[in-house]
């Protein structure tokens, strides 16, 4: 399975690409500049010369042609970018990993877009695609530290059960991560917003926190 990451040259997108590649996925890191994406991939592979990662740097348009796509652009670009590639994304699973946040003093505050969540806005922009929401709570830096296993739960929302199942399958290929079905995109807003709380905990306790839901078998 080839996964394209639109806007994948930022810390979160690059970290996820490396983590997915480390468990066997072929990943295309997309950027508005294919040259920039190629540079990022070259720098990344230099750090892991002994590994046989299937990583390539491409344009965002080329990344949108992959069988499955992750949106890793800044939150306010997610819906417009998805809409620009709506024909290429038609019928595909599109995973949105963005959080709408603003820094106010020492805190991050959650922002709420017109439909309540970034994922819902993206789904409205590309109604012929299947949008899911995942990876909001995983620290970007830790994603890229593939020599260490991450631990935590990845909360997944989508309007179709197949989309949730597909997303959870991807999550659980990565050791020690558990994907949890959190229902439709109507529940995406509080999941995205909770990232602001985690960032505040990270600042106050000088750590990199993640989510673990107890009481589930």
Alpha carbon distance 212, 199 (integer Å): 15
Q: Say what the pLDDT of residue 76 is.
A: 97
Q: Say what the pLDDT of residue 149 is.
A: 87
Q: Say what the pLDDT of residue 106 is.
A: 94
Nearest to 158 by CA among 100, 119, 112, 208: 119
Per residue in 102-133, pLDDT tens? 999 999 999 999 999 999 999 999 999 999 99
What is the arithmetic mean of pLDDT over 194-205? 96
CA atoms within 13 A on the CB side of 182: 22
Answer for the pair 3, 69: CB distance below 8 angstroms, yes or no: yes
Strands 55-59, 26-31: pairing is: parallel
Q: Is this prediction's pTM over 0.85?
A: yes
Nearest to 174 by CA among 18, 12, 23: 23
Q: Please indicate whether residue 146 or residue 94 has the higher confidence score (pLDDT).
A: 94
Helix then strand count (H, E) for the chain reads 9, 10
pLDDT band at 50 (very low <50, low <70, confident <90, very high): low
Domains and CATH numbers, the chain: 2-205 (3.40.50.720)
Alpha carbon distance 163, 211 (integer Å): 21
Per residue in 25-42, pLDDT tens? 999 999 999 999 999 999
How many other CB atoms sit within 10 Å of the CB of residue 56? 21
What is the arithmetic mean of pLDDT over 190-214? 95
Answer for the pair 200, 108: CB distance below 8 angstroms, yes or no: yes
Helix (H, G, I), strand (E, B) or coil at 191: helix
How many other CB atoms sit within 10 Å of the CB of residue 88? 18
Per residue in 74-102, pLDDT tens? 999 999 999 999 999 999 999 999 999 99
Tell me the pLDDT of the chain averaged across its residues.
Answer: 96
DSSP 186: G
């Amino acid at each position: 399975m080839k996964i394209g990451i639109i806007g994948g040259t930022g810390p979160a997108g690059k970290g996820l690409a490396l983590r997915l590649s480390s468990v066997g996925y072929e990943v295309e890191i997309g950027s508005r500049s294919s040259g920039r994406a190629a540079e990022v991939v070259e720098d990344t592979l230099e750090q892991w010369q002994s590994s046989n990662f299937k990583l390539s740097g491409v344009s965002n348009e080329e990344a949108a042609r992959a069988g499955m796509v992750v949106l890793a652009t800044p939150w306010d670009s997610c819906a417009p970018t998805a809409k620009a590639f709506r024909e290429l994304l038609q019928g595909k699973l599109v995973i949105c990993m963005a959080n709408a946040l603003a820094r106010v003093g020492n805190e991050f505050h959650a922002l709420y877009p017109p439909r309540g969540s970034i994922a819902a806005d993206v789904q409205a922009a590309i109604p012929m695609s299947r949008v899911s929401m995942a990876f909001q709570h995983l620290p970007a830096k830790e994603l890229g530290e593939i020599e260490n296993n991450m631990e935590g739960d990845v909360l997944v929302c989508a309007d179709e059960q197949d989309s949730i199942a597909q997303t959870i399958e991807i999550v659980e290929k990565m050791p020690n991560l558990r994907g949890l079905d959190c229902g439709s995109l109507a529940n995406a807003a509080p999941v995205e917003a909770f990232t602001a709380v985690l960032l505040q905990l990270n600042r106050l306790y000088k750590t990199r926190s993640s989510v673990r839901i107890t009481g589930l078998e």
